[in-house]
């Protein structure tokens, strides 16, 4: 409920205005002089103040100046007689929102309150947009993600290898493309290699190329992706799925910027920037002898971590609205927006598929929803009913999420990493790696 303070020495105005404001669903405070008004302002911190310029103890302009200097966001409306309009203009320059000449009508008060509500709404939207970052389809208001983007823009200016970590669907490919687009290589090719979808020999051929007859099915010479990416960037998605033998050859390429096509001993040199991504913990794979430690350190010159969508609730709404507009245009449908209950449901759901899953849900909803506003019944049942699921199965969380939450809890209650490691039953080096993995501060 909004709070409104009325400062005026006219008892009739105080009583009439108090009744009118309370009937409008707001809480009203009244003061008959300036000092009492300031005391009430500092204690109640009202969103709106109606202030008379002529008070028995102090000049209204000095009261206004004191209110403005507090830095508390409030809308001050000045009451003034016709003879003091010039003074009212001075009040606007000091920081008043508007002025009303006396005598005024209830309709004028209602209109002023409506104007304040509209302006406040617009200012809130502007404040939100100040924190909004949009680079193509990469949209965020999240502080941690904005920091990742700042680091990505810095590293883009170099030729350093970049390792992007994060769950599947968090936008690792989009981020890799941004690093390329921000770099001096932006005019060169951006080539993607998905290490998870190709068998070992096919992945090796896809990366390095082959000559005719190099293996069964090699009917003609073929350039590899590294050769195609010359003067540009190669993006290795799901680098954790690369087999040890291919890892060894790729390590040689990173070290010497050269490779050989399958079936051809001639060396090919290329100028390629490497960006890799994975949704797995490479340090765990190193301990299991599934990933080369030396390759890890070559790739991980700069590490960027994208948090999961469930940890970015403020992004869920802006992403939903962005894709609602897009899919409405594609499907030639008119939508006025998203119902607040839908936003609440979307922010409650855990999003195991992250942004990729959100995009699919919004596209499905646009196609199947029979109204011009996205409402809860237009969502897939498992999301429309997720409130109940969360309440009854709140303890059913992924192990990694439980581990992260527990480590965070311990870190906030101790004074040193050594003490935290002792309580958790792990060595400090492991705790350091887990802090890095979960992006804990």
Query: 256-271 pLDDT, tens per residue?
Result: 999 999 888 899 999 9
Same structural domain for residues 384 and 433? no
pTM, full prediction = 0.65
Under a CB-based contact definition with an 8 Å cutoff, are residues 333 and 366 in contact?
Answer: yes
Strands 373-374 and 337-338 come out as parallel
Q: What's the pLDDT score for residue 425?
A: 84
- Return the higher-pLDDT residue of 161 and 392: 161
Can you list the alpha helix ranges (DSSP code H) found in 192-274? 200-208, 225-228, 244-256
Under a CB-based contact definition with an 8 Å cutoff, are residues 319 and 369 in contact?
Answer: no
Helix, coil or strand: residue 304 = strand
DSSP state of 240: G
Q: What's the pLDDT score for residue 437?
A: 77
Rounded to whole angstroms, the Cα distance separating 376 from 59 reads 54
Q: What's the pLDDT score for residue 301?
A: 95
Same structural domain for residues 122 and 20? yes
Average the pLDDT over 314-332 and give the result. 92
Q: What's the pLDDT score for residue 268?
A: 95
Same structural domain for residues 371 and 260? no
Q: Sign (positive/negative) of CA torsion 279, 282, 288, 291?
A: positive
Q: What's the pLDDT score for residue 392?
A: 40
Average the pLDDT over 392-420 and give the result. 73
Residue 431 phi, psi dihedral angles, 5° rounding: -65, -40
Cα 348-349-352 angle, rounded to 5 deg:
145
Same structural domain for residues 187 and 262? yes
If pLDDT is split at 50, 70 and 90, which confidence band does 393 have? Answer: very low
Same structural domain for residues 68 and 124? yes
Domain residues for the domain of 69 are 3-129
Same structural domain for residues 301 and 376? no
Residue ending a domain, choose from 129, 148, 168: 129
Instruction: Report how many domains make up the chain.
Output: 4
**In the predicted structure, residue 124 carries a pLDDT above the cut 70:** no
Same structural domain for residues 185 and 239? yes
Under a CB-based contact definition with an 8 Å cutoff, are residues 279 and 168 in contact?
Answer: yes
- Return the higher-pLDDT residue of 399 and 33: 33
Residue ending a domain, choose from 259, 289, 305: 305
Q: What's the pLDDT score for residue 385?
A: 86
Rounded to whole angstroms, the Cα distance separating 411 from 406 reads 9
Q: What's the pLDDT score for residue 82?
A: 60
Same structural domain for residues 317 and 242? no
Same structural domain for residues 294 and 315? no
Rounded to whole angstroms, the Cα distance separating 77 from 50 reads 5
Q: What percent of the chain has pLDDT over 70?
A: 94
**In the predicted structure, residue 421 carries a pLDDT above the cut 50:** yes
Average the pLDDT over 327-346 and give the result. 91
**Alpha-carbon distances, residue 326 vs 115, 185, 335 (angstroms):** 32, 30, 11
Residue ending a domain, choose from 129, 161, 176: 129
Rounded to whole angstroms, the Cα distance separating 259 from 261 reads 7
Rounded to whole angstroms, the Cα distance separating 420 from 185 reads 44
Q: What's the pLDDT score for residue 344?
A: 92
Query: 352-390 pLDDT, tens per residue?
Result: 999 999 999 999 999 998 888 999 999 999 999 876 444
Q: What's the pLDDT score for residue 83?
A: 53
Query: 150-162 pLDDT, tens per residue?
Result: 999 999 999 999 9
Same structural domain for residues 350 and 278? no
Average the pLDDT over 54-59 and give the result. 91
Query: 175-187 pLDDT, tens per residue?
Result: 999 999 999 999 9
**In the predicted structure, residue 35 carries a pLDDT above the cut 90:** yes
Rounded to whole angstroms, the Cα distance separating 361 from 79 reads 52
Query: 212-227 pLDDT, tens per residue?
Result: 887 877 778 899 999 9
Q: What's the pLDDT score for residue 416?
A: 78
Q: What's the pLDDT score for residue 128?
A: 52
**Omega within 30 of 0 (cis) for the link into 249:** no
Question: 334: domain CATH number?
Answer: 1.10.8.60
Same structural domain for residues 206 and 254? yes
Question: 218: domain CATH number?
Answer: 3.40.50.300
Same structural domain for residues 52 and 196? no
Q: How many CA atoms lie within 13 A of 58 on its CB side?
A: 17
**Alpha-carbon distances, residue 114 vs 107, 120, 177 (angstroms):** 10, 10, 46
Can you list the alpha helix ranges (DSSP code H) found in 281-312? 282-287, 293-299
Question: 9: domain CATH number?
Answer: 3.40.50.2300
**Which stretch of DSSP H or E encloses residue 432?**
helix 428-438
Pair of tokens at residue 35:
């000092």
């Amino acid at each position: 409920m909004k709070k409104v303070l009325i400062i005026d020495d006219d008892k009739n105005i105080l009583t009439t205005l108090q009744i009118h404001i309370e009937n409008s669903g707001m809480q009203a405070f009244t003061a008959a002089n300036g000092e009492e008004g300031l005391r009430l302002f500092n204690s109640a911190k009202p969103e709106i103040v109606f202030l008379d310029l002529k008070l028995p103890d102090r000049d209204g302009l000095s009261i206004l100046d004191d209110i403005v200097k507090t830095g508390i966001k409030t809308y001050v409306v000045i009451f003034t007689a016709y003879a003091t309009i010039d003074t009212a203009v001075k009040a606007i320059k000091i920081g008043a929102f508007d002025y009303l000449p006396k005598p005024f009508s209830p309709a004028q008060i209602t209109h002023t309150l409506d104007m304040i509500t509209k302006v406040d709404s617009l200012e809130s939207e502007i404040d939100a947009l100040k924190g909004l970052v949009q680079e193509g389809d990469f949209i965020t208001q999240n502080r941690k993600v904005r920091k990742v983007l700042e680091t990505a823009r810095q590293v883009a200016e170099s030729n350093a290898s970049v390792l992007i970590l994060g769950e599947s669907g968090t936008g690792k490919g989009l981020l890799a493309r941004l690093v390329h687009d921000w770099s001096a290589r932006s005019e060169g090719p951006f080539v993607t290699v998905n290490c998870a979808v190709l068998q070992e020999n096919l992945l090796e051929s896809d990366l390095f190329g082959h000559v005719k007859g190099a293996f069964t099915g090699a009917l003609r010479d073929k350039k590899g992706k590294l050769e195609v990416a010359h003067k540009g960037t190669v993006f290795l998605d799901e680098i954790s799925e690369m087999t040890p033998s291919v890892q060894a050859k790729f390590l040689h390429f990173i070290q010497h910027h050269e490779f050989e096509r399958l079936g051809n001993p001639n060396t090919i040199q290329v100028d390629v920037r490497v960006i890799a991504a994975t949704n797995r913990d490479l340090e765990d794979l190193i301990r299991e002898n599934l990933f080369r430690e030396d390759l890890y350190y070559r790739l991980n010159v700069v590490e960027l971590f994208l948090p999961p969508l469930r940890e970015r609730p403020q992004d869920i709404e802006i992403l939903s609205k962005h894709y609602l507009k897009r899919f409405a245009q594609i499907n030639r449908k008119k939508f006025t927006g998203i119902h607040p209950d839908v936003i609440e449901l979307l922010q409650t759901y855990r999003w195991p598929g992250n942004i990729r899953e959100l995009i699919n849900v919004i596209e499905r909803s646009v196609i199947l929803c029979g109204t011009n506003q996205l409402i809860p019944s237009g969502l897939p049942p498992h999301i429309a009913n997720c409130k109940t699921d969360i309440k009854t199965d709140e303890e059913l969380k992924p192990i990694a999420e439980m581990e992260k939450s527990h480590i965070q809890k311990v870190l906030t209650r101790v004074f040193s990493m050594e003490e935290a490691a002792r309580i958790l039953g792990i060595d400090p080096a492991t705790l350091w790696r887990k802090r890095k993995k979960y992006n804990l501060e």
